[in-house]
Chains A and B, each alone.
Chain A
Amino acid sequence: MMSALRSGLTLKTREAIAGWLFVSPILTGFLIFFVGPLIAVFYYSTTEWNLLSQQSRFVGMENYVDALTRNDTFWHVLGNSLVFAAGLVPLNMALALGLAIALSRPFRGVVVFRTLFFAPVITSAVAWAIIWTFLLQHESGAVNRALSLVGIDGPNWLHEPRWAMAAVIVTRVLKTVGLNMILYIAALQSIPRDYEEAARLEGANGWDIFRRITWPLLAPTTLVIMVITVVGSLKVFDHIYLMTGGGPQNATLVLAFYIYEQGFKFFNTGYASALAVVLFVLILALTVLQMLLKTVRK
């Protein structure tokens, strides 16, 4: 039977069938667990659906109109998300690059340092947030006690609107910078040493080498890191949930947390779905924009 089947198919067709069979498990999972929910969210975003009572009615684009034109909180929340991303992304990338440059060459104890900076990435987000909440306590926290040693009276970091976002951004950077550092180290180590040696023979100093050789060659890695860091920062939820709950005075209320509140605290599932679609479109647009900028530069 199989041989008859084989004899009736071309090699290309048989290879195609084999290929599809190999990818079918992951493809099936992708369709069920990603594409399906994505379509469902688009549909739910056009309904007024109360999660608790399970009452639903089609409202078309009403949820979007409501969010974009009538809800001041939405724009405040969106602004917070963008501020969070604008604060976190450059800080994270600059620190990751600096650490990578410092730790990309072999020296005694380099593995220990790399492990230390990478450890927060695999640390539980809950433990990280709780520890930092203690460290950032107003009077008894270690951060303000350290500042007091140099004569600085530290603020109540997580309970003052003007400081809370900064505190959350910095603690998030410290949690996630290790991953970007590893990516940069891998990229730095893939740059042939010949380029640097040749440049030095030509009289280039360290800054020249970085600016004209290292940085351009890191560009593909930088793009990847930027995209994943921007996406990650716009989706931040656990950090906010655990450290500030969106406060004080909504200063750290970001879009992902607001979606959670609308969906699972207020039971406005349709409205939450519309906000999720807005977040999806925002992330997609920023990702495409970053890709385009890279293309234009080329």
Chain B
Amino acid sequence: MIKRLIIATALTGTFASAAAAEELRFTVWTGSEAHLAMLNGIAESFAETHPDVTVKFDTIPFGDYVQKLTLQLAGGNPPDLGWLLESSAPAFVNAGVLEDVSGVLEATEGYDYADFSEPAMGLWTKGDAVYGIPFSTSPFLIYFNASLYDAAGLETPAERAADGTWTWEQLKSDAAALRDADAGVWGYETVDGQGYDARVMHNLMPIVRSYGGDAWTDGICTLDSKESAAAVQLFHDMVYADKSTVPPGEQGDFFSGNAALTMTQISRVSKLADAGFDWGIAPLPSGPAGVASTVGQAAVVAFAQGKNKEIAAEFLAHMTSEENVAGMAEFFPPARKSVLESDAFLSSNPAVQPEQMEIVAAGIEGGSVLPSHERYPQIEAAARPDFDALWAADADVPAVLARLCDDIDPLLK
């Protein structure tokens, strides 16, 4: 009898302890060991104040992320926390699947919410409600192969940026000069080589905005404006008239040394660790309307259907505290002004010089986020055939853009 009581007591204790312990499931799209080690470090520091809480980071491949996340939500198996891109923000916020964490942020001691600027929070707030905190606000930059520039005797983009002559026309001219078909070297490669498909907006927006255009404004497509068309024409000429830019249906890779220039974000620096050439970073070129820094944004969110909403919101606050945002800055440019302006940020990435990180900081401060919309996937699908039509040597750029706007305007309302 006594033996039974001892066992029962022990079991009760075990179950009681298990019931008190909580495991937060956090979906991310990174599989990088360095990123996950950093995230696990943040989770361990959370355990100092929440000893019964563990955080499990669940990697979903980037290409499937939104679909798999949606299925988990629809299937009644929601994660507690997750990452979301700017393009998904309006749909998720309006669908009511994100938890309003404003109350927890306010109640968290030392959490300086005002440190996030209004533009940085634009996509993640609705009235007083806060549905996400950006953990990565990453501007597009120009990476250049300094060895190729040196061999060609050209002034580098960094030098031109310093003397104020770094323009899209100059980039076009450099790309044409550096293209070496015999050596298999392209002049310019689009964002991760995906600038004609999934990342066409990433590719075109920096050029279009620097020419004074945009994708859409106040529910009306503006890609058919004179300014937008001039910008797209410039890129089109790079591909088909100059033949300096990797066209659709071809492969180029700046990071392997077979493209002289590319446009991408600071996180791609890790791909240059073993580069067999000298490289440099420059800001985006300017156009007739100046420099239009364009920023890709991702936020950490808590899900309204999550089982541990309160603790999830507390972890969100912990992860986006000033200290942890500073820690993440090596990989994910911060939206916190205090971190952005700190000396620590400028030296946060050992592979990047402080003066190069200043370009990142400037890009964030003056940048505007990529286009987003509640019906972004539908807009993307409706625009796809028109963008496809654009990628032909004989395409009438203004006419194609006019048709594109006709196709997406009904969806923008």
A residues lining the B interface (CB < 8 Å):
50-54, 134, 136-140, 156-161, 245-250, 261, 264-267, 269
| Given A52-B92, A265-B67, A138-B249 contact (CB < 8 Å) | yes
Contact A157–B95 (Cβ < 8 Å): no
Which residue of the partner chain A has the closest CB to B198? A245
A residues less than 8 Å from B389 (CB atoms):
248-249
Contact B74–A157 (Cβ < 8 Å): no
Within 8 Å of chain A (Cβ to Cβ): is B342?
no
Which residue of the partner chain B has the closest CB to A261? B381
Contact A134–B251 (Cβ < 8 Å): yes
| Given A134-B251, A137-B250, A156-B248, A265-B381 contact (CB < 8 Å) | yes
Within 8 Å of chain A (Cβ to Cβ): is B91?
yes
Within 8 Å of chain A (Cβ to Cβ): is B388?
yes
Contact A157–B249 (Cβ < 8 Å): yes
* Min CB–CB distance B184 → chain A (angstroms): 8
Contact A159–B73 (Cβ < 8 Å): no
Q: Select the residue from A158, A161, A265 with max chain B CB neighbours within 10 A.
A: A265
Q: Which of B95, B247, B384, B388 contacts A52 (CB 8 A)?
A: B95
* Min CB–CB distance B149 → chain A (angstroms): 24
| Given A159-B248, A265-B67, A267-B70, A249-B92 contact (CB < 8 Å) | no
A-side binding surface: helix, strand, loop or mixed? loop
B residues less than 8 Å from A54 (CB atoms):
73-74
Report the Cα distance A265→B74, complex, angstroms.
Answer: 13
Which residue of the partner chain B has the closest CB to A161? B388
Which residue of the partner chain A has the closest CB to B305? A54
Which residue of the partner chain A has the closest CB to B248? A159
The 10 closest A-B CB pairs, nearest first, are A53-B95, A248-B388, A138-B249, A249-B385, A159-B249, A156-B249, A52-B95, A265-B377, A264-B67, A249-B388
* Min CB–CB distance A110 → chain B (angstroms): 38
Contact A52–B391 (Cβ < 8 Å): no
* Min CB–CB distance B400 → chain A (angstroms): 11
A residues less than 8 Å from B97 (CB atoms):
52-53
Q: Which of A140, A247, A248, A267 contacts B250 (CB 8 A)?
A: A140
Which residue of the partner chain A has the closest CB to B252? A140
Report the Cα distance A246→B377, complex, angstroms.
Answer: 14
Report the Cα distance A250→B349, complex, angstroms.
Answer: 43
Contact B95–A266 (Cβ < 8 Å): no
B residues less than 8 Å from A269 (CB atoms):
74
B residues less than 8 Å from A248 (CB atoms):
385, 388-389, 391
Within 8 Å of chain A (Cβ to Cβ): is B290?
no
* Min CB–CB distance A163 → chain B (angstroms): 11
Please list 24 pairs of residues, one from A and one from B, whose beta carbons are closer than 8 Å in the complex, sorted by A's number: A50-B95, A51-B74, A52-B73, A52-B92, A137-B249, A138-B249, A138-B250, A139-B250, A140-B250, A159-B248, A159-B388, A159-B391, A160-B392, A161-B388, A247-B384, A248-B389, A248-B391, A250-B384, A264-B67, A264-B70, A265-B67, A265-B377, A266-B381, A267-B70
Q: Which of A50, A156, A161, A245 contacts B197 (CB 8 A)?
A: A245
Within 8 Å of chain A (Cβ to Cβ): is B9?
no
Contact B71–A264 (Cβ < 8 Å): yes
Report the Cα distance A245→B381, complex, angstroms.
Answer: 10
* Min CB–CB distance A66 → chain B (angstroms): 15
Report the Cα distance A158→B95, complex, angstroms.
Answer: 36
| Given A138-B247, A138-B249, A159-B391, A52-B70 contact (CB < 8 Å) | yes
Report the Cα distance A245→B197, complex, angstroms.
Answer: 9
* Min CB–CB distance B183 → chain A (angstroms): 13
A residues less than 8 Å from B184 (CB atoms):
140
Which residue of the partner chain A has the closest CB to B384? A247
A residues less than 8 Å from B95 (CB atoms):
50, 52-53
| Given A52-B70, A249-B388, A266-B250 contact (CB < 8 Å) | no
A248-B388, A265-B67 are known; give 12 further A-B pairs, CB within 8 A: A52-B74, A52-B91, A52-B92, A53-B94, A53-B96, A53-B97, A134-B251, A140-B184, A248-B389, A248-B391, A261-B377, A264-B71
A residues less than 8 Å from B96 (CB atoms):
53
**Interface positions of B from 60 to 93, Cβ below 8 Å from A:** 66-67, 70-71, 73-74, 91-92
B residues less than 8 Å from A265 (CB atoms):
66-67, 377, 381
Within 8 Å of chain A (Cβ to Cβ): is B117?
no
Within 8 Å of chain A (Cβ to Cβ): is B378?
yes
* Min CB–CB distance B95 → chain A (angstroms): 4
A residues less than 8 Å from B388 (CB atoms):
159, 161, 247-249
Encoded as 1 (CB less than 8 Å from any A CB) or 0, chain B from 247 to 264 comes to: 111110000000000000
